[in-house]
A and B are shown apart, each in its own frame.
Chain A
C-alpha cells in the first residue's frame, strides 16, 4: 500500500463577486515509503495549493477541496481539525520556502522544537531539550548547545531553513513535504540544504515530496517527477525517463529553453512562446494550446486525458515524437 495516495484532487477557490477559480484539477499521484516524488511547474501551476490541500492547511472558507487523500489507508480530507493537527504533528512534516515566516520570532529555536517533542513524542522538558540539541546538530547547525537559546532573527537564512527542517523532523514524520525549500537561498546554501534533505530521508526512510520550479533540483533528487501546468499534471515519469526523453511539449519546451551550466557559450535557447497567462480553460481544450508548437485543432476543442504511454503518464494529443524528444544535452 502506498504511504500517500492522492486521487483526483481538486481545489476550487470561491470568493464573493468573483468567478470560482480552479487552482488544482484532477491531480492524482502516490508516494511510497522512502520515495522522493517531485512536483514541478512554473509559478501558479498549483504546486503549493496541492501540498496545502494534502496537509489540510487551506482556509476552510473559500476553498472547496474535492477528491481523496489517503495516508496509510486513512482518508485525510474528512478528518476533524483536531485529528488533522495530530496527524500533522505525528506523520506529516512540512518545510516552506520562507523560513522566517514559518518560525515564531519571539520564541527561541530550542523552545520551538521542544514544544513539538513534548506534545507529539510525550517527552519531558529535560529530555526534549537534549533531543532538540541533537536534532539541531543533525541538521548541521554548528554549536547547537549554545544556538538552541537563540531567536530566529539571530540566524542566517540558510541556518533558519536548517532549524525548520529540524522542527519538521522532530516528530519523525513518515512524509515530509518541502515547498521550494531552497528558492530563497543562494546556490551554495541550496546545495547544503538539498544534500542535507536527501541524506536525512535516506537515513530515516522518510518519504519526501519535493516542490520546486527548478528542473535541475528534481533531476538530482526525485525518483518520480510530476510536471504540472495550469493546475493539472501533464506528464509523470521516472526522472531518467523524463529528462532523457521528455514527451510532453511543455516539459520538452522547458528543457529546451533553460540555459544549462554544462552547455557551451552561445548554445541557442528555444523559448516557449507567450506566457502562462495565454491559456484556455481545461474544460474547453488543452490549457497549453496557445503556446504549444504541436497544437492541432483537436487540442482547442478536446481536453486531453492523462494516459499511460511510453512508460509514463502523458496528457497530450500530439506528444513530442520519440526521436525528437531526446533533449540536447551537454557536449
Chain B
C-alpha cells in the first residue's frame, strides 16, 4: 500500500527522493485554501504590518511548551461496496501519539512513507479531524474548538507542503496568494501597509518585489517553495508544520530552503514541526527528533543523541540504512538490514508493531503487549520492552523470517 503511493508520486519524474503521499497532501491544501478563502474577514485582530517576532520571542531553547499532543488518533474508515457503502475497517494512520513541542524549537518527525507523519501534522492543525486525543496549543485546548474560534486559531499554526506547485493555485498571482490569508485573518490594513508587508515578506524569503505579479509556474521549484513559506509567514504564525519541505527539490537547491527556514526561525522566533523521510535532513534541522513506525512514535531524543545512541531496533535499522556521501564511512557502515514488508496500517501487528520485522524480538511480551513510549533518562523516550537489554548487549540480534504483505490488504 505504501509503496504504491510512493510510485504514483514518482510518475511525475522529479528524480528526487520525494516519495510521499501526494494525494493526501492535496486534500489538505484544498481544505486550507477553502478555509482561508471562504472566510469573510472578521477583523478582530489588529495587523501590525511588521515582521517582528510573535509572542514566543526570547524563549528559544527553553522548556516553555507551545504544543502538547496527547494520545492523538486519526483513523480513516475503509469503505466497501458501491450501492450500500459500509465501513469495512479502519486505517490506523495515527494511533496514539504523545509529544510536546517547545517554543522556538524544531521538532523533526521521521519515518517511512505511510507511517502517518502527514496525518499527524494535519491532525495537529485539525486539517483532518482526529478520532481521539487532545491537542493543546499555547495553553488552549484546540481539539474542541469549533467554527470561528477554530478558524482564528489557525492563524497561529501554518503549514508548508512538499510540492509547492500543487499547493499553490496556478491561477492566482503571488500577490493574491499572499494577501488571501492576510485578508482572512484581518491582517490587510489598507493598501499601502499591505503593499509594504508583501514586499517585506518576499524579501524575507529572498524573492524580489517583481515576483508579486507573477504566477507559480513562472518560478523554479526552489522559488515556489519560498512562495509557500511566504504564504505561511503572511499571517504571522507561531508554529509552522513543514511537511517534506525539500523532498521535491533538487539536491543543490535543498540547502537554500533549509538555510532559509533556519534563518527565519532565528529572526522570527518560530517553532517548527518538520516532517521528512530523509533522516539526514531531519538530523540537520531538528533539535529533537521523533521516529514513527505504523502510526506511533517508537523513539524520541535530541538530534545528536538519536544519532549517537539510537535505542529502538527500528531506529537502529533506519539510521544504519542511510548512505553517507563518504566512501570511507560507507566501507565501514554496519547495516542492520530489515526483512519483509511494512505491515499495513489497516491491519497492524499485535503487541509491538515492529515485532514482525524486529531482529531483537523476544519470545515474551513483543507480540502480545504494546510497549509504551517511556523515558529511559534525560528525556530520551523509547517504546521497546527490551531497550535497556539491547543497549547493554544482554540480548543480541537474530535472523528474521520475512513476512510479505499484500499491498491492498
Stretch at the interface among A82-90, A167-175, A270-278, A299-307: A270-278
Residues of B within 8 A of A (CB): 2-4, 6-7, 9-11, 13-17, 19, 112-113, 220-223, 250-256, 258-259, 277, 279-281, 283-287, 302-304, 307, 317-331, 333, 335, 337-342, 401-408
A264 to B7, CA, bound (A): 32
A244 to B328, CA, bound (A): 9
Indicate whether A329 reaches chain B with its CB closer than 8 angstroms. yes
Return chain A residues, CB-CB under 8 Å to B3: 156-158, 160, 184-186, 189
- Asked whether, in the complex, the Cβ of B280 is within 8 Å of the Cβ of A158, the reply is no
Return chain A residues, CB-CB under 8 Å to B319: 261
A184 to B5, CA, bound (A): 10
Residues of A within 8 A of B (CB): 42-44, 97-101, 140, 142-143, 147, 153-160, 180, 183-192, 194-195, 213-217, 219-220, 239-240, 243-244, 253-255, 257-273, 275-277, 291, 327, 329-330
Report B226 CB to chain A, min CB distance, Å.
Answer: 11
- Asked whether, in the complex, the Cβ of A153 is within 8 Å of the Cβ of B15, the reply is no
Central interface residue in A255, A261, A263, A270, by most chain B CB within 10 Å: A261
Return chain B residues, CB-CB under 8 Å to A259: 255, 258, 280-281, 283-285
Given contacts A259-B258, A265-B303, contact A153 B337 (CB under 8 A): no
Apart from A192-B339, A261-B307, A275-B223, what 8 extra A-B contacts exist at CB < 8 Å? A157-B407, A186-B3, A186-B342, A213-B16, A217-B323, A240-B327, A261-B280, A277-B220
A263 to B258, CA, bound (A): 15
- Asked whether, in the complex, the Cβ of A267 is within 8 Å of the Cβ of B404, the reply is no
- Asked whether, in the complex, the Cβ of A265 is within 8 Å of the Cβ of B304, the reply is yes
- Asked whether, in the complex, the Cβ of A219 is within 8 Å of the Cβ of B279, the reply is no
- Asked whether, in the complex, the Cβ of B113 is within 8 Å of the Cβ of A186, the reply is yes
Return chain A residues, CB-CB under 8 Å to B303: 265
Central interface residue in B10, B19, B251, B283, by most chain A CB within 10 Å: B251
Return chain A residues, CB-CB under 8 Å to B15: 42-44, 180, 183, 213
Query: Nearest residue in A to B325 (C-beta to C-beta)?
Result: A215
- Asked whether, in the complex, the Cβ of B318 is within 8 Å of the Cβ of A187, the reply is yes
Report A39 CB to chain B, min CB distance, Å.
Answer: 12
A240 to B10, CA, bound (A): 31
In the A-B complex, list the 9 residue pairs whose CB atoms are closest, starting with the nearest. A157-B3, A216-B323, A43-B15, A220-B330, A259-B284, A271-B255, A191-B321, A257-B255, A215-B325
A105 to B325, CA, bound (A): 36
- Asked whether, in the complex, the Cβ of A185 is within 8 Å of the Cβ of B280, the reply is no
Please classify the interface of chain A as helix (H, G, I), strand (E, B), loop, or mixed, using the class held by over half of its residues: loop
Report A306 CB to chain B, min CB distance, Å.
Answer: 21
Query: Nearest residue in A to B4 (C-beta to C-beta)?
Result: A157
Query: Nearest residue in B to A190 (C-beta to C-beta)?
Result: B321
- Asked whether, in the complex, the Cβ of B329 is within 8 Å of the Cβ of A269, the reply is no
- Asked whether, in the complex, the Cβ of A183 is within 8 Å of the Cβ of B222, the reply is no
Return chain B residues, CB-CB under 8 Å to A264: 304
Central interface residue in B7, B324, B339, B408, by most chain A CB within 10 Å: B324
Return chain A residues, CB-CB under 8 Å to B408: 153-154
Return chain B residues, CB-CB under 8 Å to A142: 339-340, 401-404
> What are 12 A-B pairs at a CB distance below 8 A?
A43-B16, A97-B10, A100-B7, A157-B2, A157-B3, A158-B3, A159-B341, A184-B10, A188-B321, A220-B333, A259-B281, A261-B283
Return chain B residues, CB-CB under 8 Å to A239: 327
- Asked whether, in the complex, the Cβ of B281 is within 8 Å of the Cβ of A188, the reply is no
- Asked whether, in the complex, the Cβ of A275 is within 8 Å of the Cβ of B318, the reply is no
Q: Which of A154, A195, A270 contacts B255 (CB 8 A)?
A: A270
- Asked whether, in the complex, the Cβ of B256 is within 8 Å of the Cβ of A271, the reply is yes
A331 to B2, CA, bound (A): 36
- Asked whether, in the complex, the Cβ of A253 is within 8 Å of the Cβ of B252, the reply is yes
- Asked whether, in the complex, the Cβ of B324 is within 8 Å of the Cβ of A260, the reply is yes
A185 to B329, CA, bound (A): 22
A262 to B328, CA, bound (A): 12
A42 to B320, CA, bound (A): 25
Query: Nearest residue in A to B305 (C-beta to C-beta)?
Result: A265
A43 to B4, CA, bound (A): 22
